Amino acid sequence: MICGLGLPEEILQGVAAGIDLFDSTYIYSLTLGGFALTFSLDKNGNQDHFHLSQIGSDLTKINLRATAYRKDMSPILGNCSCYTCQNHTKVYINHLFNVHEMLAQILVEIHNTHHYLKFFHAIREAIRDGRFERFRQTFIESRRLH
């Protein structure tokens, strides 16, 4: 068990080193900041290519407090099956943050927890299928390129 790791790259490095239990406040910290996880969960580690740095976001997350989402009627992630993405839009969550509604953090926490659990599922699948090292390298390399 290791405490304090949370970034996807840190988790992958930990798993590669044999760590199989993580204790982290990463999801909670992201949620407090208004960030929603968006990194790709592609089985081969392929990443989508976004240009989000100008709105306080990057390849791993988006800042739902940003004004860029004031008119965005799409879910956090179009292919996400979590309650938040199935029932709410970025514009609604942005509004909730702007009026300081507690529901904003609840909805983002639901999404972030769901997304992170799917990330761990993808790691377990990669280990089971004997392709963890490829998954890890592809994931990390794609992040370095952006």
| Domain 2-144: assigned CATH number | 3.20.20.105
At residue 23, the pLDDT reads 84
pLDDT of 51: 44
DSSP for 21-42 reads: -EE--HHHHHHHTTEEE-----
| Cβ-contact 28, 109 below 8 angstroms | yes
pLDDT in tens, the chain (146 residues): 677 778 899 999 999 999 988 888 999 999 999 999 998 886 554 444 444 444 555 678 999 999 999 999 999 999 999 999 999 999 999 999 999 999 999 999 999 999 999 999 999 999 999 999 999 999 888 777 65
Task: Indicate the domain borders of the chain.
Answer: 2-144
**46 neighbors 142 (Cβ within 8 angstroms):** yes
Give the pLDDT score at 57. 57
Query: Assign residue 58 a region: left if phi > 0, alpha if psi is -120 to 50, beta otherwise?
Result: beta
What predicted TM-score, i.e. pTM, was given to this entire model?
0.86
Sequence-distant (≥ 6) Cβ neighbours of residue 73 within 8 angstroms: 89, 90, 91
Cβ partners under 8 Å of residue 127, min gap 6: 15
The pLDDT value given to residue 1: 67
